[in-house]
Amino acid sequence: MSGVTRFEHLIAWQKARELDREIYMTTRDCPISRDFSLVNQIRSAATSVMSNIAEGFERGGQAEFHQFLVIAKGSCGEVRSNLYIALDVGYLGEKESKRLTEMAENTGKVVGALRAAVQKRRDRQK
């Protein structure tokens, strides 16, 4: 994280942006698009990932950034959970569901790694 001056440069945020875009693209055209509640839930969760990374970074403090990364990682899990619902009720096919679930899982791993790095930095500053 050292030397990063903009949240847009964070790989975690870039991955979250890709996930958000794919969720929006997928939920606008397939059968899920008619389930407004589920679409709003899954889109909100996906948007929460990138938004929390950005907000935490912009607040400037390590403790706050860490907390926002915890929330962002949790939102990755929420995306995955909602994708299972979409699969189970037939809104998404197995292939599409797996692709998006893997994206959400990978994004969560990157966010988690960034969270761990921020935690280490916080611990060294104590």
**Number of domains within the chain:** 1
Q: What is the CATH number of the domain that holds 31?
A: 1.20.1440.60
Token readout for 92 is 């998404």
Give 111's pLDDT tier (boundaries 50, 70, 90): very high
The answer to whether residue 100 sits within a structural domain is yes
Residue 99 counted as domain residue = yes
**Is position 50 within any domain?**
yes
Output the CA–CA distances (angstroms, integers) from residue 21 to 26, 47, 90, 123, in the order listed: 9, 9, 21, 35
Domain of 83 in residue numbering reads as: 7-125
- pLDDT tens-digit series, residues 79-102: 999 999 999 999 999 999 999 999
Residue 63's H or E segment, with its range, is helix 62-88
Which tens digit of pLDDT belongs to each residue from 19-70?
999 999 999 987 888 899 999 999 999 999 999 999 999 998 899 999 999 9
Q: Long-range contacts for 93-97 (Cβ within 8 Å, ≥24 apart)?
A: 96/26, 96/30
pLDDT value at position 1? 54
Residue 1 lies in a domain: no
